[in-house]
Amino acid sequence: MAATATASSFNLPVASVLLVLLLCLQSGGGQKKKENMLAEKVDQMMEWSSRRSVIRMNGDKFRRFVKAPPRNYSVIVMFTALQPQRQCSVCRQANEEYQVLANSWRYSSAFSNKLFFTVVDYDEGADVFQQLNMNSAPTFMHFPAKGKPKRADTFDLQRIGFASEQLAKWIADRTDVQIRVFRPPNYSGTIALALLVSLVGGLLYLRRNNLEFIYNKTGWAMAALCVVFAMTSGQMWNHIRGPPYAHKNPQNGQVSYIHGSSQAQFVAESHIILLLNAAITMGMVLLNEAATSKGDVGKRRIVG
């Protein structure tokens, strides 16, 4: 009887030790499986990234490689609608800037497996749009390596625009990854400048015996007004920020030419301002001419 009690008391610590060892083995096995799964996902993302800088994803790929753990890399996703039937010109323009940014990262010396660029098209991942309650495109989101996306992880497209440089700055704020944007060479500006210089030079050569037009005050005044109209209407802001020409609501198809925020504008809005400024200036010029002219009083009253 005493021997049985002694054996039972001896077996209890042994069973406890065996149980702890079993739990450790299971935990170690689960951790090993998690590491293998993570390595597989990273290798797959790197393989896709080696083929193209922006990885196209459908609903299944998005849920597996972007949403589901484990994941030790950040993902930038552009939600867009590039199919021709969607008639989203802004999406195409934003996609061009996004490609420039992704290529700059892919072919830079700092490229690593800590950041990937992906795209989800509405016609290939409508379920993703529904899952995220997203009803507009294009939209840029950052999915961090740990935790859920915060409000700042959604790029403020309407206020900032979608230029590659602005996207790179936003990514640096969210991921600490610095991307230097390299744009493909564009010689259209150089060619246009060369043509303009050639045209002006040819005109001066043809009129070399009569250059009185250079001292024409009206001509210089018109040129100065063109520069003033361009600057006061926001053309320089458009050049820096790269906003869309207009915005088309994907739900009702209504096109907006005036931006709803006081901190942003569309290209069409700057054109409207330019025309209004030109009309006001023309009116002031006509009033001045009517007041200073020595013509018929009746005509002066009509113009005034």
The model's pTM is 0.61
**Low-confidence residues of the chain: pLDDT under 70:** 1-30, 213, 240-242, 250-252, 263, 294-304
Tell me the C-alpha to C-alpha distance, in Å, between residue 14 and each of 10, 23, 27.
Answer: 7, 14, 20
CB atoms near residue 99 (< 10 Å): 18
Q: What is the predicted pLDDT for the residue at 7?
A: 46
Identify the CA nearest to 116 among candidates 178, 46, 35, 167.
46
Phi and psi for 74 in degrees, rounded to 5?
-95, 150
Q: What is the predicted pLDDT for the residue at 60?
A: 93
* Domains of the chain with CATH codes: 32-175 (3.40.30.10), 216-291 (no CATH)
Q: What is the predicted pLDDT for the residue at 260?
A: 74
Distance CA 38, CA 44 (A): 10
Q: What is the predicted pLDDT for the residue at 269?
A: 86
Distance CA 148, CA 139 (A): 17
